[in-house]
Amino acid sequence: MHQIVIVGGGAGGLELATRLGDTLGRTGRAGITLIEKARTHFWKPHLHEIAAGSMDLDVHALDYLAQSHWHHFRFRIGEMVGLDREQRLVHLAPYHDDEGTIVTEARSFHYDTLVLAVGSNTNDFGTPGVAENAIALETTEEADRFHRRLVNAFLRAHAQTTPLRPEQLQVAIVGAGATGVELAAELHNATRDLVSYNLDRIEPDKDIRLHLIEASPRILPALPERISDSAHRMLAQLKVQVHTGARVAEVLPQAVRLASGAIIPAELVVWAAGVKAPAFLSELGLETNAINQLVVTATLQTTRDERIFALGDCAAAPWLGHEGKWVPPRAQAAHQQSSHLVRELARQLQGKPLRPFHYRDFGSLVSLGEYSTVGNLMGNFVGGNMWVEGLFARWMYVSLYKMHQMALHGFWKMALNTVARFISRRTEPHVKLH
Ligand SMILES: Cc1cc2nc3c(=O)[nH]c(=O)nc-3n(C[C@H](O)[C@H](O)[C@H](O)COP(=O)(O)OP(=O)(O)OC[C@H]3O[C@@H](n4cnc5c(N)ncnc54)[C@H](O)[C@@H]3O)c2cc1C
């Protein structure tokens, strides 16, 4: 039987494995295998909410084993570390548990078609001190670790009888792209919620400081200026200290040093500037670009091996109709590419030629937590470029995640989960307190 192996069960890869499992896998037309280094899946665009504590990981994480059982694909845990293109083998490193005990030995899986969907990591651009002193929001473990440090910082400050030190209850977020901006607004709200649970010796407006640091002249540099202006105004109202045109030269143990020499004291530093694909991709003998993305053709096949496809953040795919531009690293791109490959891999099995992928930009939405959502919807969606704000924008923003859940669970399970969450939220604290 034709073996399709997908590596990476994130926003794009898990949708692909699920939908191929439901079609080709269920009817025995192909064997579908998902290789993933984590045990559970969490949709990355919500990671900043785990960090702030406004979303509970246990409720939203999806178990790969159960998903594979329900959707007719095989799940194999492990980290891909190499590739043998002659023998068509994907090599995995041994998988260890939290105590360092080996769970699975190094092993290899055979493929006829391989899809790489291993996402991206943050890019520290070689800045000293980032690895040691800052947290990047790349995995649920990191987001959870940041949240525990945040709660501990508040418990410590509350119990302390001496005045707060300059860095205490100060958070510096480096990078004012969507992740940084959304995290700043989310943290503003979550820290006030946290204090409201009897941590009354902390005075939010006086004691808590949030800094958002961006090297470009404006926040959200990749998005239209109107979104950037509107988000900046909202953050200013919340008294988030926005530093634009400010390049970080070094992250110190309790501070950030700017290229101008200015020091911003901060107990917690989040690095949210730039992305790059995992380094191992550049060692597979396939064509990669300067940020390790696999260069693919319009059909999402890698340029040097037509059996190997790549999608999502780890792929540099041409944006057809936009000369010289690449499909941006976003959840909606990963979603569209996986839908495209569901159709095209089935066609390929029937001996039909592959059709090119056309990315449709539906616009950009930035969530400012409980306070607002701003963005624009693009021509493809509304027949023009439409500015959206407030409740409607919030609804559109939430619907991106709902589309992902629908691709994984189908409409009814997604709808029932939504109703169940709506009810259970009434009986829980609004922010995770541990
Ligand atoms: C905090 C945050 C907020 C964001 N907000 C938005 C937003 O509002 N809108 C938007 O469009 N996009 C947003 N993004 C970007 C979006 O999350 C990504 O574009 C999207 O997740 C890319 O999907 P993907 O499938 O390519 O990769 P991912 O979703 O990152 O999945 C990659 C998967 O591969 C696995 N993996 C990695 N390496 C290996 C390996 N060697 N072996 C096995 N498995 C491996 C990982 O564990 C992961 O499960 C946000 C990102 C972050 C971090």
pLDDT tens-place string over residues 222-253: 888 988 999 999 999 999 999 999 999 999 99
Ligand 1 contact via 332 beta carbon (within 6 Å): yes
More confident residue, 428 or 389: 389
Instruction: State yes or no: pLDDT of 383 exceeds 60.
Output: no
Residue 216 lies in a domain: yes
Whether 375 is in the pocket of ligand 1, judged by its Cβ within 6 Å, is no
- Asked if residue 125 is part of any domain, the answer here is no
Q: Tell me: the pLDDT tens digits for 348-381?
A: 999 999 999 999 888 888 888 778 888 887 765 5
Question: Do 114 and 145 share a domain, yes or no?
Answer: no
Average pLDDT over residues 137-142: 90
- Tens of pLDDT, residues 293-317: 999 999 999 999 999 999 999 999 9
Half-sphere exposure of 17 (CA within 13 A, CB side): 32
What residues make up the domain containing 81?
3-120+277-349
Distance CA 104, CA 96 (A): 7
Judged by DSSP in three states, 33 sits in strand
Per-residue pLDDT tens over the stretch 46-73? 898 888 888 888 778 999 999 999 999 9
Q: pLDDT per residue over 314-345, tens digit each?
A: 999 999 998 889 999 999 999 999 999 999 99
Which of these three, 318, 349, 380, is where a domain ends? 349
Ligand 1 in contact with 344 (CB < 6 A)? Answer: no
CA-to-CA distance for 304 and 29, rounded, in angstroms? Answer: 27
- What pLDDT is stored for residue 407 in this prediction? 87
Residues 6+ positions from 432 with CB-CB distance below 8 Å: 53, 54, 55, 56, 147, 151
Residues 213 and 290 placed together within one structural domain of the fold: no
Q: For residue 338, how far is its CA from the centre of ligand 1 (angstroms)? A: 13
Q: How far is the CA of 332 from the centre of ligand 1 (A)?
A: 11
- pLDDT of 278 > 80? The answer is yes
Q: Which residue, of 229, 254, 271, is where some domain finishes? A: 271
* pLDDT higher than threshold 90 for residue 415: no
Structure-block tokens of residue 277: 């694909």
Do 134 and 267 belong to one domain? yes
How far is it, in rounded angstroms, from Cα 165 to Cα 339?
52
Do 212 and 103 lie in one domain? The reply is no
- Whether ligand 1 lies within 6 angstroms of the CB of 313 is answered as yes
Asked if residue 44 has its Cβ within 6 Å of ligand 1, the reply is yes
Q: Are residues 38 and 62 in the same domain?
A: yes
Tell me: do 179 and 93 sit in the same domain. no
Inside any domain, residue 354: no
In a domain, 198, yes or no: yes
Does 357 fall in a domain? no
Provide the CB-side half-sphere exposure for 265 (13 A, CA): 9
Nearest protein Cα to ligand 1, atom 51:
45
User: Do 111 and 192 share a structural domain?
Assistant: no
| CA nearest neighbour of 6 among 75, 106, 95, 65 | 75
Q: Band of the pLDDT at 425, cuts 50, 70, 90?
A: low
Does the Cβ of 329 fall within 6 Å of ligand 1?
yes
Residue nearest to atom 4 of ligand 1 (CA): 45
Q: Examine residue 226 and state whether it is found in any structural domain, yes or no.
A: yes
179 C-beta closer than 6 A to ligand 1: yes
- For ligand 1, say whether the CB of 36 is within 6 Å of any of its atoms: yes
Of 242, 271, 300, the last residue of a domain is 271
* Start-to-end C-alpha separation, the chain: 48
Question: What's the mean per-residue pLDDT of the chain?
Answer: 91
Q: How many domains does the chain have?
A: 3
Residues 256, 287, single domain; the answer is no
Q: Where are the beta strands (DSSP E) in 57-208?
A: 62-63, 74-77, 80-84, 89-92, 95-96, 102-104, 107-110, 113-116, 121-122, 135-136, 170-174
Asked if residue 286 and residue 224 are part of one domain, the reply reads: no
